[in-house]
Chain A
Amino acid sequence: MTRAPSVYLDYNATGPVCADAKVAMSAAFDLPGNPSSIHAAGRAARSIIEDAREAVAQLVGAKPADVIFTGGGTEANALALRGIARAMGCKATLCSSVEHSSVIANMTDIDSFLPVDGNGLLDMAVLEQRLKELPAPVLVSVMLANNETGVIQPVADIARLVHAAKGYIHCDTIQAPGRLAFSLSGLGVDALSLSAHKFGGPKGVGALVLKNAMRVTPLFEGGGQEKSRRSGTENVIGIAGMGAAAKAAPKLLAQAAQIEKLRDGIEARIVQSVPGAVIHGRAVARLGNTICVSVAGVPSQTQVIQLDLAGVCVSTGSACSSGKVSLSHVLKAMHVPDEQTAAAIRVSLGPETTEAEASIFLAAYLPIVQG
């Protein structure tokens, strides 16, 4: 059974490796050296890593020395939350209730989760209150852009509150590069997490970027690579790809307006054609590539399966590795009614998305939700 060629609209999950990253990775394939070795081959590998480190630092306006390469975004988040809390002696950890599971999983207390409003924005009053109640320093983690809805948090404002209370703030900026201009200093955060594959790099490599003077306790011990903050022989090929993708990110950013226009067109068609359709977070600032839409009555998984069988790849937000679909904790935290949460899908566009693909999506999607 041959199937229609895929229309890929799941860029918030991941996307293809960009051309520049492919070139850089291909070149790295031919290098035999271990970056820690003192010989020429080792130095050649080291040079790739340090070039990449500079590119990643530049992407977020940080110093190269403050970039720690990790095995992906999940590790970067874990290193931030456990490592900073330990090294800086934090007494408590807080995060928004719409964080990615890799942040949520590092919370130790049921009271760690801060509420959000109906648009998914952090409740600043509750944060302020909690900061007052808790002994300093508190480590707070709030994402820049939500992976399911694209909603952008006022991170700079949050950082001011946290710092006023002598706390530290980590920001999961994994969805932002190439979609949103931001910097470590602009956000005013103490640490931020990146994942290469969300902006044209390969899967399995990420980085934790620290503000000067922030310390982290490593998650595990070993050969002391990455200034003893992340042991293990560096993923030279992956890091080469991440560096190249970071260098190419401004090109992505230049396309963001065009992607947003395409996204807005899709949303307009949905709202116009399906009276019951609800687009989550539409009232506030969002990533321009993301649509989180519910049409109550048609279960998310049925929609995703039908779209897949029609050759269109979208997702239900967060799926677990078995592929099982669970109700979105993000939409629940936003107090979206269950019947809408159970019927939500996420459509996320990328730089390769065309108008023709948008039309194919609409042609497949509308009949499913129109019943």
Chain B
Amino acid sequence: MPDLNTLGLPKPAAKTRVVVAMSGGVDSSVTAGILAQAGYDVVGFTMQLYDHGAATSSSKSCCAGQDIYDAKRVADTLKIPHYVLDYESTFQKDVIEKFADSYVAGETPIPCVMCNQTVKFRDLLKAARDIGGDCLATGHYVQRVLGQGGAELHRAIDPDRDQSYFLFATTKTQLDYLRFPLGGMRKPEARAVARTLGIAVADKPDSQDICFVPTGSYTDLVKKLRPEAMQNGDFVHVDGRVLGQHKGVINYTVGQRRGLGLGGEVEPLYVVRIDAATRRVIVGTKDDVLRDAFKLTGVNWLGAGDGLPADGLRAHVKLRNTQTPIAATVLPGDAPGAANVVLDSPAEAVTPGQACVFYDGERVLGGGWIARDDAKAFVPHNMRKEKVAVTAN
């Protein structure tokens, strides 16, 4: 048996075909550069996800935005073959439409996770396999660690860069095929490597916005796709009072305080819940926003065994990417892919559409989507008589 190469595959680097998902940004460029320099048979893939001309509302163009050109230039510099794969229709269906639907339903979606789940780790990964790739490498800041039960997903070394929250939905099979060479690196190191390799994008700023709304106004996009989401509705206080009119449910997110335009209350008001069906935005005080129990759907399990332990998982969970993990118990739900989370202490802004990701220290054990409240079952934390009983192990 030959030695394992640096990607954990049993053959020499030159015989190992690594497909690198290249976005045209620094991180994926460095990923390709490091692997090319290490002698791997690197092939660059860039996904064409939307018509850049149309997205920036200039005239419709056949072709790509600056990022695709940047990716091509980087591939030229690295002397690796590079291809642009057209995923416009599937991106529209699986990401943009679902993004809009999610807002319309009163949620706050994370399109990057939807993209990773569908276009990137389903379609691009298949294309990588189809062309004889031994693995697919990306520029994500996460670590893939080989444990006793196979590949494990761990946080990046650099806590400021860690992207594990956005990768919770990666399945075990996908993880097996994926590689994240930057997970053990810090961002300044990556930029330094870019300069050493002569990569033109070394000083390109990190992308901030949602890629398909380059103007930064997601509401304009949702307005175009789902005009009904812009209809006015009532701001209703948790105590039942109608406080005024809002400008459409898509403009609000659970936990939001600013921009509500509601004065005259003693305490500042927060969005507690969005009831898209009745177009009501329910507001309340900070205490009303606190939650300690909620449901998940679409749970992905990355720990030992086939799914969440039947008697519950004690873990730390993140409900937003930037949040410090909170101790919690996660119990399997009654439907496939469902789970119930009970936090040890209540948290603000448990936002439907966002992810709840389970951590055991540095390791990601999985996660799921925070489900919308069932309107009838909804009781603000401070009005509930008893806490949900939890079996902790």
Contacts and interface: CB of A to CB of B under 8 A. Distances in A.
B276 interface: no
B37 to A, nearest CB: 11
Contacts of B63: 320-322, 324
A308 interface: yes
Contacts of B14: 1
A306 B132 contact: yes
A66 B40 CA distance: 56
B101 interface: no
Contacts of B40: 1
B112 interface: no
Nearest to A323: B84
Contacts of A320: 62-63
Given A309-B43, A309-B81, A302 B131 contact: yes
Interface string A291-310: 00000001101100110110
A1 to B, nearest CB: 5
A325 B131 CA distance: 16
Nearest to A318: B62
Contact of A324 (B43, B80, B86): B86
Contacts of B130: 298-299, 302, 306
Nearest to A319: B84
A295 to B, nearest CB: 14
Given A1-B14, A323-B83, A324-B84, A309 B64 contact: no
A255 interface: no
A322 B84 contact: yes
B41 interface: yes
A298 B69 CA distance: 27
Interface string B132-149: 100000000000000000
A325 B45 CA distance: 13
Contacts of A323: 72, 83-84
Given A1-B14, A305-B131, A309-B131, A322 B39 contact: no
B79 to A, nearest CB: 8
A321 B62 contact: yes
A37 interface: no
B14 to A, nearest CB: 6
Interface in B172-213: none
Interface in A318-340: 320-326
B132 A309 contact: yes
Interface in B200-251: none
Interface string B23-53: 0000000000000100111110000100000
Nearest to B69: A322
B131 A306 contact: yes
A322 B131 contact: no
Contacts of A3: 81
Contacts, number: 56
Contacts of B69: 322
Interface string B296-318: 00000000000000000000000
Contacts of A324: 48, 62-64, 84-86
B127 interface: yes
Interface string B62-105: 11100011001000000011011110000000000000000000
A118 B68 CA distance: 36
A316 to B, nearest CB: 10
Nearest to A304: B83
A210 B72 CA distance: 40
A301 B81 contact: no
A150 B72 CA distance: 31
A1 B43 CA distance: 11
A308 B84 contact: no
Contacts of A302: 127, 130-131
Nearest to B41: A1
A325 B14 CA distance: 28
Nearest to B43: A309
B127 A322 contact: no
Contacts of B43: 305, 309
B382 to A, nearest CB: 54
Interface in A258-307: 298-299, 301-302, 305-306
A122 B204 CA distance: 51
Given A1-B39, A1-B42, A322 B68 contact: yes
* Residue from A1, A298, A326 whose CB has the most chain B CB atoms within 10 Å: A1
Contacts of B83: 301, 305, 308, 323
B19 to A, nearest CB: 10
A309 B48 CA distance: 20
B45 to A, nearest CB: 9
Contacts of A1: 14, 36, 39-42, 80
Contacts of A298: 130
Interface in A21-56: none
Contacts of A305: 43, 83, 131
B131 to A, nearest CB: 5
A326 B64 CA distance: 13
A164 to B, nearest CB: 37
B123 to A, nearest CB: 10
A321 B131 CA distance: 22
B338 to A, nearest CB: 35
A353 B228 CA distance: 60
Interface in B106-159: 127, 130-132
A308 B86 contact: no
A298 B81 CA distance: 20
27 contacts: A1-B36, A1-B42, A298-B130, A301-B83, A301-B127, A302-B127, A305-B43, A306-B130, A308-B83, A309-B43, A309-B81, A309-B131, A309-B132, A320-B63, A321-B62, A322-B48, A322-B63, A322-B68, A322-B69, A323-B72, A323-B83, A323-B84, A324-B63, A324-B84, A325-B85, A325-B86, A326-B86
Interface of A: 1, 3, 298-299, 301-302, 305-306, 308-309, 320-326
Please provide the 9 A-B residue pairs with the shortest distance between their CB atoms, ordered closest to farther.
A322-B64, A322-B63, A320-B62, A323-B84, A324-B86, A324-B48, A302-B130, A324-B84, A1-B41
Given A1-B80, A301-B85, A308-B83, 10 more contacts: A1-B36, A305-B131, A308-B81, A309-B81, A320-B62, A320-B63, A321-B63, A324-B84, A325-B84, A325-B85
